[in-house]
Amino acid sequence: MPKKKSFTFSDALFAAMAILCENRRYRNLTEFITALVRFDAQTLRDHVMTEEWAALSGEERDRLDAGLLERVKQWKPARGSWLMAKLEAIIKIVLEFVQAGKEPTPELVAKELAKREKPPKHDNGH
Query: Residue 104, CB half-sphere, CA atoms under 13 Å: how many?
Result: 16
Most confident of 50-54, 62-66, 110-114, 117-121: 62-66
How many other C-beta atoms lie within 10 A of the C-beta of residue 117? 11
Query: Residue 41: pLDDT above 60?
Result: yes
Q: Is residue 123 part of a domain?
A: no
Q: Which run of H or E residues covers position 39?
A: helix 29-43
Query: H-type helices in the chain, by residue range?
Result: 11-23, 29-43, 58-74, 81-99, 106-116
Looking at residue 116, its pLDDT comes to: 82
Average pLDDT score over residue span 34-43: 94
Average pLDDT, the chain: 86
pTM recorded for the entire structure:
0.60
Q: How confident is the model at residue 126 (pLDDT cuts 50, 70, 90)?
A: very low
Q: Is residue 125 part of a domain?
A: no
More confident residue, 126 or 15: 15
Q: Is residue 108 part of a domain?
A: yes
Cα–Cα nearest to 29, from 49, 58, 62, 6: 6
CA angle 11, 15, 20 (to 5 degrees): 145
How does pLDDT run across 53-105, given as a tens digit for each residue?
Answer: 888 899 999 999 999 999 899 886 655 566 777 888 999 999 999 999 999 99
Residue 24 and residue 66 share a domain: yes
Q: Is residue 122 part of a domain?
A: no
Residue 106 and residue 64 share a domain: no
Residue 96 and residue 53 share a domain: no
Residue 32 and residue 64 share a domain: yes
Total domain count for the chain? 2
- Boundary residue ending a domain (43, 59, 76): 76
Q: How confident is the model at residue 29 (pLDDT cuts 50, 70, 90)?
A: very high
Structural domain range at position 48: 9-76
Looking at residue 121, its pLDDT comes to: 54
Q: Is residue 48 part of a domain?
A: yes
